[in-house]
């Protein structure tokens, strides 16, 4: 898959995620159960965190540096997100979505490692959690 196709798929999946979480009533954003022990607030931050992390890895790859993957626990990610307001989580999600797109756009022909990081931590990730949020809210999954 080339860079432009990846950016197109990321944009489509991002819009699906945004549609899913904006359709959820505000009073249900912090209700756990979207996945066991996690709320929509938690999942949006989780996606935001990993898109930002992927942008950092892509930056290292662009400069010929090793991936240097850190051991990051989901518990730490969720805990950090719970310290933020909904508006801050959404704002950071938007920023990291753009950071990941910018990081990928720097590559004329992304190497396999960059493709894998971008795919896993943006559009595949967004689609997975958009589906879960829609199911939690009782909405249908558009695919």
Q: Write the CATH number for 72.
A: 1.20.120.450
Range(s) of the domain holding residue 46: 3-25+37-137
Distance CA 36, CA 20 (A): 18
Q: How many CB atoms neighbour CB 9 within 10 A?
A: 18
Q: What angle do CA 123, 118, 26 make, to 5 degrees?
A: 40
d(C-alpha 140, C-alpha 83), whole Å = 30
Give the pTM: 0.91
Asked if the structure places residue 86 within a domain, the reply is yes
How many independent structural domains does the chain possess? 1
Site of tokens 């240097």: 68
For residue 32, tell me if it sits in a domain. no
Asked whether residue 7 is domain-assigned, the answer is yes
Q: Is the dihedral of CA 11, 140, 84, 47 positive or negative?
A: negative
Query: For 28-81, how does the pLDDT look when each residue is reduced to its tens digit (9 = 90+)?
Result: 999 999 999 999 999 999 999 999 999 999 999 998 887 776 778 888 999 999
Retrieve residue 54's tokens. 């992927």
């Amino acid at each position: 898959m080339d860079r432009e196709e990846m950016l197109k798929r990321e944009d489509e999946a991002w819009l699906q995620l945004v549609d899913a979480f904006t359709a959820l009533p505000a009073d249900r954003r912090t209700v756990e159960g979207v996945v066991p022990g996690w709320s929509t607030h938690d999942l949006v931050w989780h996606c935001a965190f990993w898109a930002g992390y992927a942008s950092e890895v892509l930056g290292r790859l662009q400069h010929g540096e090793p991936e240097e993957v850190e051991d990051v626990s989901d518990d730490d990610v969720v805990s950090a997100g719970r310290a933020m307001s909904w508006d801050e989580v959404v704002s950071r999600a938007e920023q990291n979505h753009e950071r990941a797109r910018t990081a990928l756009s720097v590559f004329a022909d992304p190497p396999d490692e960059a493709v894998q990081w971008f795919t896993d931590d943006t559009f595949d990730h967004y689609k997975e959690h958009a589906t879960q949020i829609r199911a939690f809210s009782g909405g249908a999954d558009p695919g």
